[in-house]
Amino acid sequence: MAKRFEFPIRVYIEDTDAGGIVYHANHIRYLERTRTEWLRASGVSHYWHQREYSFVVHKINLKYSRPILMDDLITVTACVISCKAASFTLQQEIYRDGILLASGEVELACLDANMQPRKLPEEVRTLLRAQLDNN
């Protein structure tokens, strides 16, 4: 697993408001898309939600630094910054041409099929801890 995962995203008109600026809630969509691709690239099957566990956003803190504009090619990153028994936290950032546009932390909790907290599966915990060791 790479220390910092990067995923390119093109901004379309549907992502923007009437002024051609990305609507604030769409930043969260970009972070979500990047987390999904990061999990896939890390070897965690995208069918994880159909198994005995799922990941849900428990807490998110996002800072908007500069506007994202229609037709921008942005790079969204994900980097593990903590791993607990039943949750993990990622630092995520959005860049355009190396300029930081937004940044935040996203804590994801692991839930069982009954929507109750459960320990992270061992293979996921191993991947996350390996990522932490590379930081």
Which amino acids are annotated catalytic?
Answer: 17
CA 49, chain centre distance (Å): 16
Residue 6 contacts residue 76 (beta carbons within 8 Å): yes
Who contacts 66 (Cβ-Cβ below 8 Å, separation ≥6)?
96, 99, 100, 101, 102
**DSSP alpha helix (H) spans, the chain:** 24-41, 122-134
Contacts 24+ apart (CB under 8 A), 22-26: 22/67, 22/68, 22/69, 22/70, 22/72, 24/64
User: What are the residue ranges of helices labelled H in 3-121?
Assistant: 24-41
